[in-house]
Amino acid sequence: MEMKKENIKKEGMILNHGLLITVFTVIYFIFQQFIYPFVYIILVLTIVTLGDKISKILPFLEMSEMTEDIFVSITFLFCLLIVAVVSYFLGKWTEKELKRTNKYILGFIMSAILFYFIYKYYTEKVDPYAIILDSLKIVYLYCGAMHIIFSIGLLFGKRIDILINKLKEYTRLKMKIEKIKR
């Protein structure tokens, strides 16, 4: 009788974890497919508009085109960094929520989604009638990069925290040694 109860609990747990991973995969794939490209397009439009406004507000700087391009590129990279950090911490948060699931299955799912974005990148065609972007290749590249950062947070978040704590401890020890030497 007890063996049957344990088997039922294990089967229920496997079913719950499988359902959780399936729901996570569907929601995450929809998120990757629609939200990240939307964020990218909004990011590009915001940076272009910001660069245009700054060049109109500050005409006395008389920035050359190259200077404006550098300014827009730096601003764009800064915004990408912010999105990447948010993506990493979203992956870390998801790791806490999915702590009892199998990491190998999650790794397989994350790899499959990455291969999907690589496939989409290489098979994307140029649209001559596009309004904003003539090709979504750059969007798929962006989605793939954010997916890799999310996956690092999801699969290796705890290990990275341990590494950061060890580095902090090492620098503290190094500073104490430097104080003693003086």
Residue 162 lies in a domain: no
Contact of 154 with 107, CB cutoff 8 Å: no
Residue 175 lies in a domain: no
pLDDT value, residue 20: 76
pLDDT value, residue 173: 87
Range of the domain at 49: 2-156
Per the prediction, the chain carries an average pLDDT of 77
Q: How confident is the model at residue 117 (pLDDT cuts 50, 70, 90)?
A: confident
Q: How confident is the model at residue 61 (pLDDT cuts 50, 70, 90)?
A: low
Residue 97 lies in a domain: yes
Q: For the chain, how many structural domains are there in total?
A: 1
Using CA atoms in the order 127, 80, 39, 107, what is the torsion angle rounded to 10 degrees? 90
Question: Three-state SS string across the chain, please?
Answer: CHHHHHHHHHHHHHHHHHHHHHHHHHHHHHHHHHHHHHHHHHHHHHHHHHHHHHHHHCHHHCCCHHHHHHHHHHHHHHHHHHHHHHHHHHHHHHHHHCCCCCHHHHHHHHHHHHHHHHHHHHHCCCCCCCCCCCCCHHHHHHHHHHHHHHHHHHHHHHHHHHHHHHHHHHHHHHHHHHHHHC
pLDDT value, residue 156: 86
pTM: 0.69
Residue 26 lies in a domain: yes
Token digits of residue 115: 């291969």
Q: How confident is the model at residue 146 (pLDDT cuts 50, 70, 90)?
A: confident
Residue 107 lies in a domain: yes
Average pLDDT over residues 76-99: 82
- Residues in CB range of 23: below 8 A, 6 or more apart: none
Residue 38 lies in a domain: yes
